[in-house]
Copies of this chain bind each other. A is one copy, B any other.
């Protein structure tokens, strides 16, 4: 009989969590999953997987006593820490809450694991925003490049990574850190840029005014399909090196302008784009492109999804 793997997933209600479960199931991984989330409502059905048995507990990660109890009772083999206030924009509006719900929740989690004495591998999810503005870089960002956080969100992510390093080095805890670039895929909340564009462009197709009002669309990001992201996370659990940081990215940059063009072509509609200066964020990073060489070298990961394919999937999900 195959040995069951026990996964604790924080931020269970998010779309990355759903895709991670889909991945485990598609690979017939025999897994017991405990999802935790501050929200009571999980917007997908987690009861129908074949090999993945899931349960869910509503929990605020700021409640350290409850986190300790959960860890001690469930005794995870793997902890996928997805919980985060992951919006840069939100971090400018409510920086204190954003910081607390990134760095402090993580510190509660690793302290609870440390004091429990339970041996497990923890994946601490960070962000490409940690690098800051890379406009002067001619080559994709590598993990050894300097970091330069430019928003409260990015500072919180760097703090989380530094804490991971301290806990890994000082206590020998098995923590791997990621700097995950812009995920795209189905089930993402439409406050994020791609679903928002898809919904608006589809509304134009359905007869709305053909004007798309946006923030700065000259910014370039490294977009990666969430299905490729969760495969990378699984491979890091299995093959990643303890205490190391890994970029999770495509390795190619695309401007929001290009994204809009591709979506409009797939949807088959002509649009007029207008920039609203009020939607342009203070001090935003212009270009962020990562190198995925380290991830490939250590885990054998491969990106199986083209941007065109990802966008078709997303359009089909949001518009049907």
Question: Which residue from B99, B108, B162 sits with its C-beta under 8 Å from A96?
Answer: B108
Overall SS of chain A's interface: helix
Q: Which residues 124-179 of A sit at the B interface, judged by CB distance below 8 A?
A: 149-152, 154-156, 158-159, 162-163, 166, 169-171
A95 to B115, CA, bound (A): 12
A214 CB within 8 Å of chain B: no
Tally A residues with Cβ within 8 Å of B.
27
A111 to chain B, nearest CB (A): 6
Contacting pair A107 B96 (CB below 8 A) = yes
A196 CB within 8 Å of chain B: no
A207 CB within 8 Å of chain B: no
- Provide the residues of chain B in CB contact with A159, threshold 8 Å: 103, 155-156, 158-159, 162
Question: Which residue from B95, B96, B152, B166 sits with its C-beta under 8 Å from A149?
Answer: B166
A191 to chain B, nearest CB (A): 21
Question: Which residue from B103, B163, B283 sits with its C-beta under 8 Å from A170?
Answer: B283
A104 CB within 8 Å of chain B: yes
Contacting pair B169 A162 (CB below 8 A) = no
Contacting pair A170 B282 (CB below 8 A) = yes
A72 CB within 8 Å of chain B: no
A305 to chain B, nearest CB (A): 33
A75 CB within 8 Å of chain B: no
- Provide the residues of chain B in CB contact with A200, threshold 8 Å: none
The 0/1 profile, CB within 8 Å of B marked 1, for residues 96-119 of chain A is 100110011001100100000000
- Provide the residues of chain B in CB contact with A104, threshold 8 Å: 96, 99-100, 104
Question: Which residue from B155, B166, B170 sits with its C-beta under 8 Å from A162?
Answer: B155
Question: Which residue from B64, B95, B150, B282 sits with its C-beta under 8 Å from A107?
Answer: B95
- Provide the residues of chain B in CB contact with A103, threshold 8 Å: 99, 103, 159
A64 to B96, CA, bound (A): 9
- Provide the residues of chain B in CB contact with A163, threshold 8 Å: 152, 155
Contacting pair B162 A149 (CB below 8 A) = yes
- Provide the residues of chain B in CB contact with A99, threshold 8 Å: 103-104, 107
**Which residues of A line the B interface, CB within 8 A?**
64, 95-96, 99-100, 103-104, 107-108, 111, 149-152, 154-156, 158-159, 162-163, 166, 169-171, 282-283
Supply 11 further A-B pairs (C-beta < 8 A) apart from A107-B152, A152-B163: A95-B107, A99-B103, A149-B166, A150-B166, A151-B166, A154-B166, A158-B159, A158-B162, A159-B162, A166-B283, A171-B282
